[in-house]
Structure 1
Amino acid sequence: MMKVIYYTKDNCSLCDDAKALLLMLQHDYPFELEERDIYTKDEWLEEYQLLIPYVQINQTTLNCEELNIGSLEKALKDNIHN
């Protein structure tokens, strides 16, 4: 099964919106969603604090400026068989 890693933090409305999109798309593109709070590891905080919500699907990544329903769906389609 495809795995989607989702970097987030508490009290982030953009993160909430992105998670809602992911959960909606999960009905059409089955994947395991791993949610990572950037405040639980210093490396994540340093790397992603200005990029969240941030989604990684295999080698495909989408940051806060790239994340929308179209880009998420394309990334899922492109990685469905990897």
Structure 2
Amino acid sequence: MQQTLTLYSTWGCHLCEQAEQLLQQAGLEGQFQVTDIVDDEQAFARYRLMIPVLRRGDNELCWPFDADRLATWLKDVK
């Protein structure tokens, strides 16, 4: 079973919007959830200076990343 992809983000973050667009362009629409770090104390403490961060299980992909890096990371964490 494949673990959920989570994009840690926050409202008004243009980098987070770019990361979400990359996920959509990669054909992952509906296959990831966006978590606003403001709504999650642990995520806020961990990611507040790092967002956007894409996470699957214990694996994280921190910004900056592009479509090629995203594709490589996705293959590595399946």
Same-fold call, TM cutoff 0.5: yes
- Preserved contact between residue 4 and residue 31 of structure 1 (Cα < 8 Å): no
- Equivalence map 1:1-82=2 (5 Å): 2=2, 3-26=4-27, 32-65=31-64, 67-80=65-78
Task: Report how far residue 31 of structure 1 moved.
Answer: 6.8
TM-score with structure 2 setting the length: 0.83
Aligned-residue sequence identity (percent) comes to 25
C-alpha RMSD of the superposition: 2.0
SS in 2 for 1:7: strand
TM-score with structure 1 setting the length: 0.79
Task: Report how far residue 57 of structure 1 moved.
Answer: 2.4
Gaps of 5+ in 1: none
Task: Report how far residue 72 of structure 1 moved.
Answer: 0.7
SS in 1 for 2:35: strand
